[in-house]
Amino acid sequence: MINDPEMLTGMILNGAHGIYDVHTNQGILRCTLRGKLKKAFAQSQSIHSVAKVNPRYDKLIQQSKVKRVEKREVATAAIPSRLSVGDYVKIRQLDPTTGMIEEILPRQSELSRRDSSSNDKKAMQQTLLANLDQVVLVFAAAQPDPHFSMLDRYLAICESAQIRAVICLNKADLTHEPYVEQAAELYIRLDYPVIWSSIVNDQGIENLRVLLKNHMTLFTGPSGVGKSSLVNAIEPGMAIKTGLVSNATGKGRHTTTGSQLYPLSDGGWLADSAGIRALAAWNIAPEELPECFIEFRRFLGECVYSDCTHIDEEGCAILQAVEDGQIDGHRHKSYSRLFLGDER
C-alpha cells in the first residue's frame, strides 16, 4: 500500500472509457488510471475474471474444488482485478478537478453476476457494486409481472456474498395477481424484509428512506419495474447531486461499471444500477449453492448420499421436504435451474 501524506483516499462514483468520477474530501475529481494499473488490469482479466461455464452439473461438481480455492483466494486478497463503483482508491491530485488513481484498495464486499454479454464458453465477472452492506431488490407487482425465479437468483447471489437483501415490490397501487401476495408471504416467512411501494401514493417511500440511512446500498432489479422513479421519489433531484462521467464522454452512464453511486441527504450512499434483463450467478460452487437457499439449511446433511445434488436423487432430504410442504416447490425449481445453469 502506498503511504504518501499527499495522496487522497476516494471512492469510485462512476466510470466509463477509463475515466472515473471519484469522491474525496477535496470534492469530486475526474481521474484516470496510472499506466501500470491499466496494464495490471489487462493481465488480470485472463487470470482472475474468466471462468469456464458448463450447464451440466456433473462437470460443475468436478470444478467445484477449484472454484472453492478461487473463492478463498479472493476473500483473502480482496484486491479487485477490475475497477468498479464503490471501490476505494488512492489518488494523486493533479489540479483542483482532476487526479491520477495510483492504487486500488482491498474490497470488504462485492455483489457480482456473470456478464450477460459473455458467451457460453467463457464468462466474465461484472461487479454491480463494491463495498456494499445491503441490496434492495426491486420488482414490480404488475406491469411487468414479477419474475420470482430471477428474484430467487438474486437472493442466492446475496446469500453467497453474505450481503443483506431487502425485497421491494413496486407499483403496489396497480392491480396484481393473487400469486404475488402469496409469494410475498413466502419471502416474509423466510425472514426476508418485504416492502410494498408506490410513487403514486407514496406507499413505502419513508420506510425505504429509513432503511437506506447510513448504509451503502445497491438498488437493482429487472428492467421496467419503475426503479429509477422510485429512487427519485426517495431522494428528489438525486441525478444532479454528482457529476456523471457520461457528461464528458458522451456515452451512456452504464457503459462500463453498470452503476452510479449517489450520496443520500440523510447519510449513506445509493447505487442505482441499470435494469437487468438476464441474471446469472458468478462463482458459486455447486456444493455451496444449497446453503444459498436458506430454507434448505436445516435439511442439509440428512440426505442418504453425502454428494447429493438435491435435484432428483433417491433419499434426498430436500426433495422429501418439498414433498412434505416444508420447502416451496417453486423455490426448489429455482434452485434446480440455477444449479443446472438454466438462466430462465
Q: State pLDDT tens for residues 125-165.
A: 778 899 999 999 999 999 999 999 999 999 999 999 999 99
**Exposure pattern of 94-132 as b/e (b: 16+ CB <10 Å)?**
eeeeebbbbbbbebeebbbbbbeebeeeebbbbbbbbbb
Last residue within a domain, chosen from 82, 108, 134: 108
Question: What are φ and ψ of residue 115, in 5° steps?
Answer: -60, 120
- Average pLDDT for 186-192: 98
Domain of 75?
A: 8-108
State the pLDDT confidence band at 112, using cuts at 50, 70 and 90: confident
- Average pLDDT for 270-286: 69
State the pLDDT confidence band at 239, using cuts at 50, 70 and 90: low
Residues 182 and 259 in one domain: yes
Please indicate, yes or no, if residue 83 is contained in any of the structural domains. Answer: yes
Residue 310 pLDDT greater than 60, yes or no: yes
Please indicate, yes or no, if residue 2 is contained in any of the structural domains. Answer: no
State the pLDDT confidence band at 279, using cuts at 50, 70 and 90: low
Round the average pLDDT of the chain to a whole number and report it: 82
Residue 188 pLDDT greater than 80, yes or no: yes
Predicted TM-score of the model (pTM): 0.81
Instruction: Count how many domains the chain has.
Output: 3
d(CA 125, CA 113): 6
Residue 176 pLDDT greater than 50, yes or no: yes
